[in-house]
Amino acid sequence: MYLVIIPAFNEEKTIASIIQKTKRHADQIVVIDDHSSDDTGKIARTYGATVIRHSKNKGVGAAMKTGITYAKKLKPNIVITIDADGQHMPEDIPSLIGPIIEGRADFVLGSRFLAKEPTNMVLQKKIGNKFLSLIVSLLAGVRLTDTQTGFRAFNKKALLSLNLVSDFTYTQEMILVLCHNGFRCVEVPVQIHPRKHGESKVASRISSYAFKVLTSICSTYLRLKIHG
């Protein structure tokens, strides 16, 4: 069984397309509606996704925690996560899960930087991405180029070992936890589309975002070192 988790907040203009394209590669899709003020959840349900709605806006990290908890009950062979804003291409899912199916990896990141530099990413965000990826690579013990990507996949054993804490974000914490627990992590190149609707939550407040992410990285690393 292949399960796809889509955290979503006010993505009514893109969620239908994402679900339609993802259906071709998944047995079930669950959308975590982080208390959207638009019709994101309603549209997702109309197009066949299971929808779990938060009673208040909690953050993408909390949305992923909800998705992981749901997935653990089903114990799928592979879990795929993809953003709801339309930047990732569901057509890349076969490439993303390939290393897991072939037994070469437990956890795969869809890197936007592995093949070539994206031309549609603002410079400030690109620099921040590289800086955070360097830090996470050093702490995780594996060279990674895109630790902020929301397009990723992991197998059942990795899923069952996940215990995320942060409500703010999950991307770096997930990598540190899985690598600390000995799971094999690799990257594959993926395509990226520029955002057509709405505004990036990161680009609009990049300084405060970077500070919160660094705090999350440090607290996760210390927690893993102390508690093992």
Q: How far is it, in rounded angstroms, from Cα 221 to Cα 24?
A: 37
* Least confident stretch, 15-24, 88-97, 118-127, 142-151: 118-127
Domain count, the chain: 1
Q: How confident is the model at residue 200 (pLDDT cuts 50, 70, 90)?
A: low
The pTM score is 0.93
pLDDT at 71: 98
Residue 77 CB-density burial (10 A; 0-12 exposed, 13-18 middle, 19+ buried)? middle
Which amino acid, 50?
T
Task: State percent of the chain over pLDDT 70.
Answer: 93
Q: How far is it, in rounded angstroms, from Cα 107 to Cα 99?
A: 8
pLDDT tens column, 118-164: 667 788 888 899 999 999 999 999 999 999 999 999 999 999 999 99
Averaged pLDDT of the chain: 93
Q: How confident is the model at residue 206 (pLDDT cuts 50, 70, 90)?
A: confident
CATH number at residue 135: 3.90.550.10
Residue 137: DSSP 8-state: H
Range of the domain at 195: 2-227
